[in-house]
Chains A and B, each alone.
Chain A
Amino acid sequence: MTNNTTGDKSSGSTSGDVTQDAPFPKPRPMDFAAPVVIFVFAAVVAYLTTTFEDASPLIVGHAMQPRNFPLFLMAVICVLNVVLIIQTVLRPPSRRDLEPWQTWLSMVVLGLFFILAAYADLFLGIIVSMFVLSILWGERRLWVSTLVSVATPAIIFFVFDQVLKVRFPRGILTNLWYGA
């Protein structure tokens, strides 16, 4: 038996443009995406530390002001990031194909869940997201998707509500149980 992949365009080219034939593979701009994001993140964190209040010297004593430790962390991260860039230049990572459309739409579903859970009902958000995810990932039997996406949250709700005494936020669906 083998792991048989279908629709996996990368199967023959996982090493991508860093082919074994090429003696000196060159990094692509995308290889530097992570280091760039890390630098931007470190810069934002460093800026945010300037907005911190100064703690009283009596409390701080010989220790550091609260802003100094995150600043120190960001400095070390930047140094490591420089090493990461050098590593990327010397040995570019193997090419990865773009994720399938299901991945990006799954992220959109997480966004949809946020909107529904924040403005309508937590469980409505879960039910809709489960149903859409199930269809998105290839379930063709609508009744299966519906059953799973309705029964699972219902069971979870009653287990947490009745056994673990968890009170869920009020919303369109939870009000049916808690009362308006």
Chain B
Amino acid sequence: MEQAVTAFFSVFADPYLLGLICITTIAGVIIGALPGLGATTGAALLLPFTLTMDPVYAITILTTIYCSATFAGAITAILINTPGTPAAAATTFDGFPLAQRGEAGRALGVAVVASTIGGIFSVFALAIAAPLMAQVAYEFRPPEYFALTLFGLSMLASISEGGAIKNLIGGLFGVWLATIGADQVTAVERFMFGNYELYEGLNFIPVMIGLFAMSELLYQSTRVNQIVEQIAMKAVKLPSWADYKRIAGTVARSCGIGTFIGILPAEGATVASMIGYSEAKRWSKNKEEFGKGAIEGVAGAEAANNSATGGAMVPTLVLGIPGSATTAVIIVGLMVHGLRPGPYLFTQQVDKVYAIFGAMLAANIMFLVLGLYGAKIFARVTLVPRQILWPIVFALAIVGAYSLNQAMLDVWLVLIFGVVGFMCRRFGFSVAPIAIVLILGEMVETNLQNSLKIFDGQWWLILTQPLAAVFLILAALGLARPFLSALSDRRRRVTTSTLSE
């Protein structure tokens, strides 16, 4: 415990690390403010730069990008009605109307403060919840892990992008991608086509760079004719006491919601912000203001999406199950640097884990300062023309993918998955499930195989394990939820129309 506390606060005594967090926060805010370049793409593009670093510094870079880019999506959401990251989509609902009324500074001030409170809350929740969850996870055997991964897969049905069926198909495609290479148990070659570079499977990072960065490049090419005006902003100002009183309850509620949603496998900041926003509206005394410029709307969405960052790190670190697409990249970063996610991380590498938590706290404090004093400058990066920005992203994506293993195959993977990702988006499939499940895929198959061995091929005996049964029931509920809510929505609409007639 003492070691953990020392490691947590040691971050604040390390000037090099603080400098790194400052630079990375600026980079993260710029990445988040640029429409199309989100936390996931940013983390995937920056991962190659961390290869020669100390593991704590490397993971600090990735987590700082995660926290700061998630916040920065609000800048463009408020100023140009275009969320810099999907997690900021709900911020546009009230942030932009506030900006139109000439209150852009106030909206950004509320967003910065709510994001910081959400982020700090979630770091403390992470520091407390992760070791507790790790205690439970020590008891997990293959059946429990298999059931847990199925639960993670089922949660794809309810992530907001794409439909439930499309997300599940995307997720299963991700599981299939994880079967490429030699089978873990028998070493039988699968889908390798004689290419021995694929023996250990697809490299995750080139696939993610392709799915996020390269497909986004192609997607941005569909918008080259768009002209976006930007609202002028005098200055970012801190919320007034009246504002604080008005948003306090909303922020507190959204912190809890965001952290809880973040902890659920595969759910991330986007879902959290939507729920945070709708709950803010449900509890507000000024419901009629929502959509026209209610600061509770901005605060609810922003506190929720930033508190989901810490929450999403819980399953990522404790179970090796990504809490979101960005944490899928962070898992790869952990593995590249020799930190295998799982409960043993909390006994064998406790100093490193708590240093990472401390760095996340520092990053949240850093973007409070940068957000309040630099938002006006960061808002200007949205003016970088697409025809300059995206060719640079192209070069970074290609060289970044190559540098990890110094193999041209990884470059080709970026191109292939760029086109695959673009086509998926073209037909309404989100690429996030593919990326999340790519990490889970190997766990699903290996734990299923091991469970079958334990139970002599009688798979139904998995249900006799209490924890596994709980996860499987949750998975069934997770799969049923979108369909049940669609059904109840339809019934509500029918009832409403009947009443109005």
A residues within 8 Å of B by Cβ? Answer: 1-8, 33-34, 38, 45, 48-49, 52-53, 55-56, 59-64, 66-67, 69-70, 73-74, 76-77, 80-81, 83-84, 87, 93, 96, 99-100, 102-103, 106-107, 110, 113-114, 117-118, 122, 126, 129-131, 133-139, 144-145, 148-149, 152-153, 156-157, 160, 163-169
Q: Are B183 and A3 in contact (CB under 8 A)?
A: no
- Which partner residue on chain A sits nearest B454 by CB separation? A62
A122-B395 Cα distance, complex, nearest whole Å? 10
Q: Are A137 and B387 in contact (CB under 8 A)?
A: yes
B residues within 8 Å of A by Cβ? Answer: 48-49, 51-52, 80-82, 99-100, 163, 165-166, 168-169, 172-173, 175-176, 179, 183, 185-191, 214, 217-218, 221-222, 224-231, 385-388, 390-392, 394-396, 398-399, 402-403, 406, 408, 411-412, 415, 418-419, 422, 426-429, 445, 448-450, 452-453, 455-457
Q: Are B408 and A169 in contact (CB under 8 A)?
A: yes
Give the A-B contact count at a CB cut-off of 8 A. 203
Contact of B390 among A103, A113, A133 (CB under 8 A): A133
Q: Report B440 CB to chain A, min CB distance, Å.
A: 13
- Which partner residue on chain B sits nearest A45 by CB separation? B176
Q: Are B399 and A156 in contact (CB under 8 A)?
A: yes
Given contacts A59-B185, A152-B391, contact A110 B418 (CB under 8 A): yes
Inside 8 A of B168's CB, which chain A residues have their CB?
A: 80
- Which partner residue on chain B sits nearest A49 by CB separation? B190
* CB-based closest 8 A-B pairs: A62-B457, A55-B186, A7-B225, A137-B387, A130-B391, A34-B427, A66-B183, A139-B387
A84-B164 Cα distance, complex, nearest whole Å? 10
Given contacts A6-B225, A6-B227, A53-B189, contact A133 B394 (CB under 8 A): yes
A93-B226 Cα distance, complex, nearest whole Å? 24
Q: Report B181 CB to chain A, min CB distance, Å.
A: 11
Q: Report A82 CB to chain B, min CB distance, Å.
A: 10
Given contacts A66-B188, A73-B172, A139-B385, contact A167 B411 (CB under 8 A): no
Q: Are B52 and A148 in contact (CB under 8 A)?
A: no
Q: Are B191 and A100 in contact (CB under 8 A)?
A: no
Q: Report B403 CB to chain A, min CB distance, Å.
A: 4
A81-B52 Cα distance, complex, nearest whole Å? 44
A126-B396 Cα distance, complex, nearest whole Å? 10
